[in-house]
Amino acid sequence: MEIYYKISRALQNVRNLRPLVHHITNYVTVNDCANITLAIGASPVMADDINEVRDMVILSDSLVINIGTLNSRTVESMIEAGKKANEFNIPVVLDPVGVGATPYRTKIAKEIMSKIKIAVVRGNLSEIKALYGINAQTKGVDSSENFSTGENVSSSIKSFARDFANSFHTVVAITGKTDIITDGETLYSVKNGHEMLSRITGTGCMCTSLIGSYLGAGSNDLYGALAGVATMGIAGEIAYNRLDPYEGSGSLKSKIMDAIYHLSEEEILNWGKIDEE
């Protein structure tokens, strides 16, 4: 029960402090990432030009790097912004979208990991496996692997997650039917969310922005990652339950924004499905 109160306090910190979250993200979901950041109470900035990213990140409270729409221009900006963030102890969140789909994408993600201290890596199982160096299949930028059977996650996946976190000295959030978040020691499983979230482009990217918002407000890496993932899952369930019979994925997306905007401690306590081990 204490973990739900920690998430609630972290949410209140975001709303009180309104951290500036610097995004270098992809153009498919950039508007969604900006709006979800505003919905939770943080402030987004989406600057990606090499001539200003160093200056912008110094003004920011966290940095989100999302490689969804890679190009050589923004890769340089990502690396330089990440280095500057490290210099000023500003937490960096990496979303390795589609890693494993192409050699170039995998190479760039590994380069970012090698040159920047990453506070949290959030991705699906295929992406995290590919980043670790394990052969994994992706379908475009989506995972082709389902690591949960019903409600349960295998001990081998939990062990893999811990190994990843320890090897890269980071927190990893592997999102799927059941989400896994670990710093290599403590491990949380989150069973919130709804399968209809997979019908909306950018829910993973938005989740990463939420993590960046929590880190920017002072949450430590593990709790910030957990709070971001749980917030997205809880909001997804609340939003789905508010759909009228004739409404679909478009309405769900707007209702997710509304659910996060109005998210309360009571809803976190009533809807949260978090296990710790």
Binding site: which residues?
Answer: 46, 122, 175, 202
Tokens in use for 205?
């990217």
Q: 37 and 212 in contact (C-beta within 8 Å)?
A: yes
Q: Between β-strands 120-123 and 138-139, what pairing exists: parallel, antiparallel or unpaired?
A: unpaired
* Tokens (6 digits) for 175: 């999102």
Question: Binding site residues for substrate, as ranges?
Answer: 46, 202
Known binding positions for ATP: 122, 175
The token pair at 161 is 């997650």
User: Measured between alpha carbons, how far is 233 from 189 in angstroms, rounded to an integer?
Assistant: 12
Within 57-186, strands assigned E span 62-66, 92-95, 120-123, 138-139, 142-143, 148-149, 152-153, 171-174, 179-182
Helix axes 221-241 and 2-17, enclosed angle (nearest 10): 90
Of 42, 31, 22, 24, residue with least CA distance to 213: 42
Beta-ladder partners of 274: 190
CB 206 within 8 A of CB 117: no
β-pairing verdict for 274-276 and 187-190? antiparallel
Q: At what angle do helices 221-241 and 203-216 cross, to 10 degrees?
A: 130
**H helix or E strand, kind and range, residue 44:** strand 43-45
